[in-house]
């Protein structure tokens, strides 16, 4: 990785749909290892921004530079390769493959990245507290447990960036706290960069920095002085 | 390792959707069966064209122009004509064994010794012995040395089977008796159904003309004419089969396309997810085309078997014997299954590749 201080650079990002603007010129930088939460009302463009950073969607104009790669310039297959090397995603819905077990869902991400390794995938699940659930299918697990598989799947290939879109949106307070504590402890060990979208103020207690979005603009940017530690 | 995990995931994914895969394979099977049947029958029939004449070493067939019988005297007359090397008279009819109707062929049994047909048993040594086509052995539980009672127009006659003949033609299903026995069974007086003639090569047209002049009311056909007549009928059948094939192929394509389309649609989320975790377009193509290959190969192989059975059933019905199918047919059938499946899967897979994961993954 480079020693460029700004690991993620977004410049003047515009996303225009036929009927509306989702992003109206967003610029921001995120440093390597930083945990940033993006907040804002529904429809303010949070998911759109996250998806464009992760190369899942294209912008209308503007630049996204990650670790000195111009993401917007990559073609579809290079984007896929960029994602498998650099990005881990967690979504509000778990998007686990229903007929694969927990460990196999993690192995699928390994397979696309390089090589499936059951032992390593099992270790990753132990790390998120699912050591006893390796061979359960998603339907046999709770929502919180499913999201923990997603964390293991997102981080299995040691990406530089974790992009999380409402990862606790479907969870209750207790499970939300479990998930965020888990992310926090893994983040302290591995120092990847986190961009997390939420509209829940409770969630934004974790992390280093909060960006506020409204109507396709960034309207606030503040650092959290003291990061929550433990529960 | 990478491959083996792919196959593991692939097989889980397919067994998830067994029903659909089976239905897709079945529609390919039907299409391939029709194609295989068409090719099998066509090539088999070509081989059999004119074979009835060839089997007796004849190249001319003389029959009554009006469709009735020829007088036995015609045989003598024809044999004396210039250029005629050999003649044999045959009479065809039906008789019954235990109320089952059996085809009777009356001919000079001695002449069969030169044809090189396979004989299981012995040639008849006396008046009471006859031959049976090999297929009757099991069908009627006949045995050499045992008596059979044949009922004809004049009541019941008893014979002993001395052996079973095998040629791969209509004779395999018939009883072969001497001309006098045939006349007695059929209650006809010294008549022939056909006279097979071996004429000197190169003079067949002249010989045909002479025969028609000598024996009034006869029609003569050369081996080539017989073959051509059979072939023109074959062409008509072929055209029909080609039309049927086109329709069936089209139906199979549509069926695969909709099965694959449903497959892709059902798995939008999975495709979106695979893209998000870094699957390239080729990774995704591999999954769907593997399924298409599996469906196509399974359907193609099953279709070959079905088409083969169909071909043999038709051949059995038409010729009383089986057809040797060309060796390339199994490979061609599987290839046809693969082509149908891959072509039909192409469009749904192109759709899948176009899915925007950002849109799919936000769907509830
Ligand atoms: N495919 C699309 N076509 C048209 N408009 C779209 C499309 N996707 C998103 N939008 C619009 O873009 C704007 C931003 O959407 P986005 O999903 O980024 O919002 P969000 O901040 O994530 O909202 P939420 O909190 O509800 O998830 C919204 O007004 C939305 O209606
Ligand atoms: Mg959103």
Distance between Cα A40 and ligand 2 center (Å): 10
Instruction: Calculate what percentage of chain A has a pLDDT beyond 70.
Output: 95
Taken in order A227, A195, A84, B274, the sign of the CA dihedral is: positive
H helix or E strand, kind and range, residue A102? helix A102-113
Does A80 lie at the interface with B, CB-CB under 8 angstroms? yes
Which residue from A57, A84, A153 is facing B356, i.e. has the nearest CB? A57
- Length of chain B (residues): 364
Residues B270 and B196 placed together within one structural domain of the fold:
no
Sort strands A69-70 and A35-39 into parallel, antiparallel or unpaired.
unpaired
Residues B259 and B339 placed together within one structural domain of the fold:
yes
State the pLDDT at residue B322: 80
Q: Is residue B227 part of a domain?
A: no
Q: Chain B partners of A91 at a C-beta cutoff of 8 Å?
A: 361-362
Residues B240 and B98 placed together within one structural domain of the fold:
no
Q: Give the three-state DSSP class for B166.
A: strand
Closest CA to A49 of A33, A25, A31: A25
State the pLDDT at residue B58: 79
Q: Is residue B254 part of a domain?
A: yes
Residues B284 and B311 placed together within one structural domain of the fold:
yes
Does A109 lie at the interface with B, CB-CB under 8 angstroms? yes
Q: What's the start-to-end Cα distance of chain A, in Å?
A: 33
Number of other CB atoms surrounding residue B35 within 10 Å: 27
Q: Which domain holds residue B138?
A: 59-222
Cα Dmax for chain A: 49
Of B222, B240, B266, which one is at a domain's C-terminal end?
B222
Residues B217 and B285 placed together within one structural domain of the fold:
no
Of B222, B257, B283, which one is at a domain's C-terminal end?
B222
Residues B37 and B78 placed together within one structural domain of the fold:
no
Q: What's the start-to-end Cα distance of chain B, in Å?
A: 35
Q: What are phi and psi of B172, to 5 degrees?
A: -65, -15
Interface of B with A in 265-294 (CB under 8 A): 269-270, 272-283
Q: Is residue B287 part of a domain?
A: yes
| A228 pLDDT more than 60 | no
Token pair recorded at residue A194: 């986190």
Q: Give the three-state DSSP class for A217.
A: strand
Interface of B with A in 12-51 (CB under 8 A): 12-13, 16
State the pLDDT at residue A13: 96
Distance between Cα A47 and ligand 1 center (Å): 7
- Distance between CA atoms of residues A164 and A56, nearest Å: 13
Closest chain A residue to the Cα of B268, Cα to Cα: A95
Mean pLDDT of A113-126: 95
Distance between Cα A31 and ligand 2 center (Å): 23
- Distance between CA atoms of residues A48 and A215, nearest Å: 12
Residues B173 and B302 placed together within one structural domain of the fold:
no
Which residue from B5, B16, B274 is facing A99, i.e. has the nearest CB? B16
Which residue from B269, B283, B358 is facing A51, i.e. has the nearest CB? B358
Supply the mean pLDDT for chain A: 92
Confidence of residue A231 (pLDDT cuts 50, 70, 90): very low
Give DSSP secondary structure letters for B272-304: HHHHHTT--HHHHHHHHHHHHHHHHHHHHHHHH
Distances (CA, A) of B146 to A122, A127, B112: 77, 86, 22
State the pLDDT at residue A3: 44
Provide ipTM, 2 decimals. 0.91
State the pLDDT at residue A153: 97
Residues ≥6 apart with Cβ < 8 Å to A41: A199, A214
H helix or E strand, kind and range, residue A204? none
DSSP class of residue B112 equals G
- Distance between CA atoms of residues A230 and A184, nearest Å: 9
A8-223 topology per CATH: Rossmann fold (3.40.50)
Does A100 lie at the interface with B, CB-CB under 8 angstroms? yes
To the nearest whole Å, the CA of A218 is away from the closest chain B CA by 21
Per-residue pLDDT of chain B (364 residues; tens, 9 = 90+): 567 888 999 999 889 888 888 988 998 998 899 888 888 877 777 766 666 667 777 778 888 877 788 888 888 888 888 888 888 899 999 999 888 889 999 988 888 887 778 889 999 988 889 999 988 888 888 888 888 888 888 788 899 999 998 887 778 889 999 998 889 888 888 889 888 888 887 787 888 888 888 888 888 887 777 767 766 777 787 788 788 888 888 888 888 888 888 888 888 889 999 999 999 999 999 988 998 999 999 999 999 999 999 988 888 877 767 877 888 889 999 999 999 999 988 988 898 888 889 888 887 6
Tell me the pLDDT tens digit for each residue of A62-87: 999 999 899 989 999 999 999 999 99
State the pLDDT at residue B75: 87
Q: Domains in chain B: how many in total?
A: 2
Protein residues with CB under 6 Å of any ligand 1 atom: A 17, 19-20, 22, 40, 42-48, 199; B 359
Distances (CA, A) of B187 to B69, B190, B191: 13, 9, 10
* Paired residues of A161 in beta bridges: A87, A193
Q: Give the three-state DSSP class for B84.
A: strand
Which residue from A99, A107, A113 is facing B278, i.e. has the nearest CB? A113
| A169 pLDDT more than 50 | yes
Token pair recorded at residue A184: 């926090």
State the pLDDT at residue B205: 81
Residues B36 and B160 placed together within one structural domain of the fold:
no
Domain assignments of chain A as residue spans, ordered by start = 8-223
Residues B31 and B63 placed together within one structural domain of the fold:
no
H helix or E strand, kind and range, residue A35? strand A35-39
Does B236 lie at the interface with A, CB-CB under 8 angstroms? no
- Distance between CA atoms of residues B272 and A216, nearest Å: 25
Residues B206 and B256 placed together within one structural domain of the fold:
no
Cβ distance B5 to A111 less than 8 Å, yes or no, reads yes
Residues B69 and B198 placed together within one structural domain of the fold:
yes
Q: Chain A partners of B6 at a C-beta cutoff of 8 Å?
A: 111
Distances (CA, A) of B106 to B50, B55, B121, B124, B195: 20, 16, 19, 14, 12
Tell me the pLDDT tens digit for each residue of A7-60: 999 999 999 999 899 999 999 999 999 999 999 999 999 999 999 999 999 999
To the nearest whole Å, the CA of A224 is away from the closest chain B CA by 29
Token pair recorded at residue B343: 């072509």
Residues ≥6 apart with Cβ < 8 Å to B208: B60, B199, B220, B222
- Long-range contacts of range A127-130, CB-CB < 8 Å, 24 or more positions apart? A127/A152, A127/A186, A128/A152, A128/A182, A128/A186, A129/A182, A130/A102
Cβ distance B5 to A107 less than 8 Å, yes or no, reads yes
Closest CA to A198 of A44, A58, A66, A87: A44
Taken in order B159, B165, B171, B174, the sign of the CA dihedral is: positive
Distance between Cα B364 and ligand 2 center (Å): 12
Does A95 lie at the interface with B, CB-CB under 8 angstroms? yes
To the nearest whole Å, the CA of A4 is away from the closest chain B CA by 25
Looking at B112-226, which runs of residues are DSSP E strands? 118-121, 129-133, 147-152, 155-166, 174-177, 191-192, 194-199, 218-222
Q: Is residue B158 part of a domain?
A: yes
Of B165, B190, B222, which one is at a domain's C-terminal end?
B222
Evaluate whether B171 touches B115 at the Cβ level (below 8 Å).
no
Residues B201 and B303 placed together within one structural domain of the fold:
no
Give DSSP secondary structure letters for B170-194: GGGGEEEE-HHHHHHHHT-SSEESE
Closest CA to B218 of B81, B97, B96: B81
State the pLDDT at residue A57: 92
Closest CA to B344 of B257, B285, B260, B248: B257
């Amino acid at each position: 990785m480079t020693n460029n201080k700004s690991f993620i650079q977004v410049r003047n990002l515009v996303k225009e749909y036929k009927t509306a603007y989702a992003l109206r010129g967003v610029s921001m930088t995120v440093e390597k290892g930083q945990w940033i939460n993006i907040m804002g009302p529904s429809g303010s463009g949070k998911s759109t921004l996250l998806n464009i950073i992760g190369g899942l969607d294209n912008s209308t104009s503007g630049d996204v530079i990650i670790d000195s790669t111009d993401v917007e310039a990559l073609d579809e297959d290079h984007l896929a390769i960029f994602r498998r090397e650099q990005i881990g995603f967690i979504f509000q819905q778990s998007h686990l493959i229903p007929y694969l077990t927990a460990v196999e869902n993690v192995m699928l991400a390994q397979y696309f990245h390089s090589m499936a390794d059951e032992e390593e995938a099992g270790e990753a699940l132990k790390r998120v507290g699912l050591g006893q659930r390796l061979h359960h299918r998603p339907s046999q697990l709770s929502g919180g447990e499913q999201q923990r598989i997603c964390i293991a799947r997102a981080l299995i290939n040691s990406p530089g960036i974790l992009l999380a879109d409402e990862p606790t949106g479907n969870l209750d307070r207790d499970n939300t706290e479990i998930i965020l504590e888990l992310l926090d402890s893994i983040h302290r060990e591995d120092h990847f960069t986190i961009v997390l979208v939420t509209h829940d103020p409770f969630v934004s207690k974790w992390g280093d920095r909060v960006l506020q979005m409204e109507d396709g603009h960034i309207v606030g940017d503040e650092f959290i002085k003291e990061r929550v530690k433990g529960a | 390792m990478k491959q083996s995990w792919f196959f593991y995931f692939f097989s889980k994914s397919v067994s998830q959707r067994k029903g659909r895969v089976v239905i897709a394979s079945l529609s390919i099977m039907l299409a391939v069966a029709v194609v295989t049947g068409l090719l099998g029958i066509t090539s088999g029939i070509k081989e059999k064209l004119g074979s009835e004449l060839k089997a007796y070493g004849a190249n001319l067939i003389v029959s009554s122009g009006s469709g009735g019988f020829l007088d036995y005297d015609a045989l003598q007359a024809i044999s004396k004509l210039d250029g005629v090397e050999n003649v044999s008279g045959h009479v065809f009819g039906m008789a019954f064994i235990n109320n089952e109707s059996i085809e009777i062929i009356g001919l000079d049994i001695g002449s069969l010794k030169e044809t090189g047909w396979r004989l299981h048993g012995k040639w008849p040594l006396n008046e009471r012995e006859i031959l049976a086509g090999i297929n009757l052995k099991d069908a009627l539980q006949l045995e050499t040395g045992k008596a059979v009672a044949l009922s004809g127009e004049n009541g019941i006659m008893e014979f002993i089977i001395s052996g079973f003949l095998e040629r791969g033609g209509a004779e395999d299903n018939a009883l072969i008796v001497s001309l006098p026995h045939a006349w007695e069974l059929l209650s006809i007086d010294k008549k022939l159904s056909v006279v097979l003639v071996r004429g000197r090569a190169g003079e067949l047209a002249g010989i045909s003309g002479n025969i028609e002049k000598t024996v009034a009311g006869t029609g003569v056909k050369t081996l080539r004419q017989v073959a051509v007549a059979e072939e023109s009928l074959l062409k008509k059948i072929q055209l029909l089969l080609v039309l049927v094939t086109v329709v069936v192929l089209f139906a199979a394509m549509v069926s695969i396309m909709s099965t694959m389309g449903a497959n892709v649609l059902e798995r939008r989320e999975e495709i979106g997810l695979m893209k998000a975790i870094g699957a390239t377009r080729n990774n995704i193509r591999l999954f769907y085309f593997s399924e298409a290959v599996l469906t196509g190969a399974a359907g193609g192989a099953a279709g070959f078997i079905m088409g083969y059975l169909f071909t043999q059933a038709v051949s059995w019905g038409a010729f009383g014997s089986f057809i040797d199918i060309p060796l390339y047919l199994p490979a061609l059938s599987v290839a046809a299954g693969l082509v149908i499946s891959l072509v039909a899967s192409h469009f749904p897979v192109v759709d899948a590749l176009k899915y925007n994961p950002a849109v799919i993954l936000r769907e509830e």
